[in-house]
Amino acid sequence: MGVTASQPIYTVEDIPGKGKGLIATKDIAKGTRIISEKPIVSISHSAGDIEQLHLSMHQQVNSLREAEKREFLSMTNIYPHENSTEDWFGIVRTNALPMGPNLDAGGVFLHACRINHACDSNATNFWNENINQLTIHAIRDIRRGEEITISYLSSLRNRRARQDELRQNFKFTCSCRLCSLPPDQSRDNDAKLDRIHEIDRIIEQGGIEALVSAPRRMLGYVEEQIQLWRDMSPNEVGLGRAYPDAFQIAIANGDVARARIFAEKVVALYLTTLGDDSPDVSQYKALFRDPASHEYYGMSMRWKTSMEEIPLELHPQVFEDWLWMRREESPEGRLTDLRDLATFPSFSDLPDQSHCESDYFDCSDVATRRPARHWCFLAEIQDVLGFSPLHVVVKDVNGVVLPLLVYTGPTGDQFSASKIRRGYTLAILYAVRHTTIFRKPWIHLKKPKMVKRPADLSLITGQVAELK
Ligand SMILES: [Zn+2]
């Protein structure tokens, strides 16, 4: 478990306005295991009805040693109560920390439950299934005399969402450093947290399907999340999901080289927050040794690499460019590689109408966004269904066949039957993807001249065919 405190490195003290709390009695290095302990009382949500819960809790409290029972009864209860059973149950509800195989139980811990909350906490709690104990790890260096804090929040959201959650569940108003930022900084922070949360939602909604249908976009989202986080915090320990997400994207597309690097980053992160005896560290150490053992390996082999392809001795910045598949700025006149999926994205990798993706645009406002670079959607026409608007069935670079509407507004009749034919290639610069659950996907063209008709593209047509 790395560095473990051999003797208590904190004291329990009265903290003005917060009841009891833990104060560091010496400097504590990031990654140190501050506490590892078993619960004195635990209840499981799946244990049965409320009467069974009360009974189980009664038995546990009554079998505590006198000193433990005194400690238990001195803990805060924020719930109204009329008898000792309700009081004890209120103490458990107020203080319990998540535990158990699926975190579906709550435990009262003599030491860990004395730790107060901070939204930007300096420590984190984790139920370690291997040792059946709750651990508290320092997630940044803590100075002697500093209060040790953990977060009671389900996830780190904007200030208002945090305050609402804490008031509703714990009946207090948080005044941590993050909640006390000056208005300007607080707004800036909230915007970043909102975007991080939005990306979490996009990745979650995309699910396994998006890992292979739009991996480049998904990887771009993860990278954006990490950069937003770095702007706010000097360490990455608040980003428990980003590197595992990046690992899944890489390995689902056969990219063993990048997956191994992402697994290594997960191990480093989890060693700090969970310790090397945690199941999660063992899991990612095994994935670091053999990334292809992951169940998603081979869903697509679009980015196929081997471990030997991890670049060595690169400048850190160049290595990061490789890792995140950042585009190279090609000199003027250099031939474009048609297999470059950043420049010639598939339909699902096109930027979405409702977002302003930094991979494509240079501002954050959808209404005024401008392309930050060049990209072109290429697709082979499989069938022509109509001309006003242009309605075709196309096959994109991934071989995905989809019906497509190309709107050109009042000038939509510019397409003629001789130029739009089966087997020809449609090429649309700066294409933006519109999709709703009610309609077919479509691309909206403001300037019809952006459409290069097949006559201009016989060469490209031939090369695109090779991509399939
Ligand atoms: Zn706070």
Each residue's pLDDT, cut to its tens digit, for the chain (468 residues) gives: 445 556 789 999 999 888 899 999 999 999 999 999 999 999 987 767 888 888 889 999 999 999 999 999 999 999 999 998 899 999 999 999 999 888 889 999 999 999 999 999 999 999 999 999 999 999 999 999 999 999 999 889 999 999 999 999 999 999 999 999 999 999 999 999 999 999 999 999 999 999 999 999 999 999 999 999 999 887 777 778 999 999 999 999 999 999 999 999 999 999 999 999 999 999 999 999 999 999 999 999 999 999 999 998 888 999 999 999 987 554 554 456 676 777 888 887 888 777 777 677 766 666 777 777 778 888 888 888 877 777 788 888 878 787 777 766 555 456 667 777 888 887 777 788 776 555 556 665 554 444 444 433 323 332 232 222
The radius of gyration computed from the CA coordinates of the chain, to the nearest angstrom, equals 28
Give distance in angstroms: CA of 145 to centre of ligand 1.
20
Q: Does some domain include residue 4?
A: no
Structural domain harbouring 124? 10-170
Taking the centre of ligand 1 as the mean of its atom positions, its distance from the CA of residue 150, in whole angstroms, is 11
Q: What b/e readout covers 300-318, taking b as 16+ CB neighbours within 10 angstroms? A: bebbebeeeebeeeeeeee
Neighbours of ion ligand 1 (CB under 5 A): 119, 174, 176, 179
Dihedral class, residue 103 (left if φ above 0, else alpha if ψ from -120 to 50, else beta)? left
Pick from 323, 357, 374: which residue ends a domain?
323
Is 201 inside any structural domain?
A: yes
Checking phi first, is residue 121 left (phi over 0); if not, alpha (psi -120 to 50) or beta? beta
Q: Are 225 and 199 in contact (CB under 8 A)?
A: yes
Cα–Cα nearest to 237, from 116, 120, 145: 120
151 Cα–ligand 1 center, Å: 9
DSSP H or E run through 387: strand 376-387
Give a yes or no: residue 49 inside a domain.
Answer: yes
Distance 153 CA to ligand 1 centre (A): 10
pLDDT of residue 224: 94
Residues 195 and 281 in one domain: yes
Report yes or no: 456 and 425 within 8 Å, Cβ to Cβ: no
**Do 3 and 29 meet the contact criterion of CB atoms below 8 Å apart?**
yes
Same domain, 132 and 24: yes
Task: Please report, as a single letter, which amino acid is at residue 453.
Answer: R
* Contact by Cβ (8 Å): 87, 103: no
For residue 456, the CA-to-ligand 1 centroid distance in Å is: 59
In whole angstroms, give the CA distance from residue 428 to residue 239.
37
Distance (angstroms) between ligand 1 centre and the Cα of 152 equals 10
Number of residues that this document lists for the chain: 468
Q: What sign results for the dihedral spanned by CA atoms 394, 400, 404, 408?
A: negative
CA 183 to ligand 1 centroid distance, Å: 14
Q: Are residues 196 and 158 in the same domain?
A: no
- The rounded Å distance from CA 165 to ligand 1 centre is 11
Among 118, 138, 170, the domain-final residue is 170
Per the structure block, which two tokens stand in for 178?
Answer: 């993050």
Q: Which amino acid is at 415?
A: F
Look at residue 289 and tell me if it is in a domain.
yes
Whether 423 is in a domain gets the answer: yes
Rounded to the nearest whole angstrom, what is the distance from the C-alpha of residue 90 to the centroid of ligand 1? 23
CB atoms within 10 A of CB 92: 24
> The tokens 């458990």 sit on which residue?
92
Contact in structure between 189 and 176 (CB atoms under 8 Å): no
Do residues 76 and 191 share a domain?
no
How much distance in Å is there from the Cα of 166 to the middle of ligand 1?
A: 9
Cα–ligand 1 centroid distance for 231 (angstroms): 18
Report the candidate in 145, 154, 181, 123 with the shortest Cα–Cα distance to residue 27: 145
Do 190 and 276 share a domain, yes or no?
yes
CATH number at residue 455: 2.40.50
Pull the structure tokens for residue 4: 């473990």
**Are 375 and 439 within one domain?**
yes
Q: What per-residue confidence (pLDDT) applies to 435? A: 64
pLDDT of residue 185: 95
Q: How far apart are CA 395 and CA 380, in angstroms?
A: 5
Count Cα atoms within 13 angstroms, Cβ side, for 374. Answer: 10
Query: 151 and 22 share a domain?
Result: yes
Q: Cα 47 from chain centroid?
A: 32
Assigned domain for 253 exists: yes
Which amino acid type is present at position 5?
Answer: A
Within this chain, do residues 20 and 157 fall inside the same structural domain, yes or no?
yes
What is the pLDDT at residue 216?
92
Ligand 1 centre from 159 Cα, in Å? Answer: 7
Distance 157 CA to ligand 1 centre (A): 10
How far apart, in whole angstroms, are the C-alpha atoms of residue 454 and residue 427? 8
User: Is residue 60 domain-shared with residue 129, that is, in the same domain?
Assistant: yes
Q: Which position has the token pair 């899944």?
A: 248
d(CA 176, CA 102): 30
What pLDDT, on the 0 to 100 scale, is given for residue 149? 97
Distance 121 CA to ligand 1 centre (A): 9
How many domains are contained in the chain?
3
Q: Which of 146, 170, 194 is the last residue of a domain?
A: 170
- pLDDT tens sequence across 374-389: 788 888 888 888 777 7
Cα(193) to centroid(ligand 1), Å = 13
- Going 401 to 406 to 412 to 418, the CA torsion angle's sign is negative
DSSP 293: G
- Calpha distance 327→359 (Å, rounded): 10
Residue 91 lies in a domain: yes
Same domain for 108 and 219: no
CATH number of the domain within which 200 lies: 1.25.40
> 178 alpha carbon to ligand 1 midpoint, in Å?
5
- What sections of 214-341 are H helices per DSSP? 215-232, 242-252, 256-273, 279-289, 316-323
Confidence at residue 395, expressed as pLDDT on a 0 to 100 scale: 86
- Record the tokens describing residue 75, joined without a space: 């803990």
Tokens 């691309």, located at residue:
443
Residue 445 lies in a domain: yes
Sequence-ordered list of residues with C-beta below 8 angstroms from that of 159, at least 6 positions apart, any chain:
178, 179, 186, 189, 190
Cα(26) to centroid of ligand 1, in Å? 24
* CATH code, domain carrying 30: 2.170.270.10
**How far away, in angstroms, is 128 Cα from ligand 1 center?**
26
Tell me: do 220 and 280 sit in the same domain: yes
Measure 118 CA to ligand 1 centroid, in angstroms.
5
- Does this model's pTM top 0.75? no
- Output the CA 302–ligand 1 centroid distance in Å: 44
Assess whether 353 and 421 both reside in one domain: yes
* C-alpha of residue 328 to centroid of ligand 1, in Å: 41
284-324 tens-digit pLDDT: 999 999 999 999 999 999 999 999 999 988 889 999 999 99
Chain centroid, CA 371 distance in Å: 26
**Centroid of ligand 1 to alpha carbon of 115 (angstroms):** 14
Give me ligand 1 centre to Cα 254, in Å.
41
Distance 169 CA to ligand 1 centre (A): 14
